[in-house]
Amino acid sequence: MPVKKEKLHAHPAELKLYEKLVGTIPEIEVKGDTMKYTSHNGNMYSLLSKEGELAIRLPEPERGEFLKNHKTKLFEAYGIVMKEYVAVPEKLLEDTKQLKKYFAISYSYVKSLKPKPTTKKAKK
């Protein structure tokens, strides 16, 4: 059986910072190959793009507060604005201590959402 090679992320420094942030909540893990992300019950709540940009899903009013306080915008991927996701400034990604508050809010928020049905086939 062939060994599956792990795909390397194009931005290893950002990936290391992202993994450090995710590590602040022990029960979650980073998923994905080229685009790293976190999800709960089928609902994604953070992602690290192939370009090394971090997006975090936040509820209102925290989303508005984050956008104002960090002078950023909603995250955009493939030309589409992701309405609940904020673009995390590069300097803030480097500050795990400050960013982990928002990451915890994001995780709590996604746990309150209705689970999405899985697309994976059940093992027999």
DSSP 29-66: --B-SSSEEEEETTEEEEEE-TTS-EEEE--TTHHHHH
**Mean pLDDT, the chain, whole residue set:** 91
For residue 13, which of 45, 63, 53, 62 has the smallest C-alpha distance?
A: 53
Whether 5 has a pLDDT exceeding 90, the answer reads no
Residue 21 lies in a domain: yes
Residue 17 lies in a domain: yes
Contact 104, 25 (CB under 8 A): yes
Residue 23 lies in a domain: yes
Residue 101 lies in a domain: yes
Residue 3 lies in a domain: no
The model's pTM is 0.87
pLDDT tens per residue across span 76-116: 999 999 999 999 999 999 999 999 999 999 999 999 999 99
Residue 117 lies in a domain: no
Domain extent at residue 101: 12-79+92-111
pLDDT band at 19 (very low <50, low <70, confident <90, very high): very high
- Confidence (pLDDT) at 6: 54
Amino acid code (one letter) for 81: V
Domain count, the chain: 1
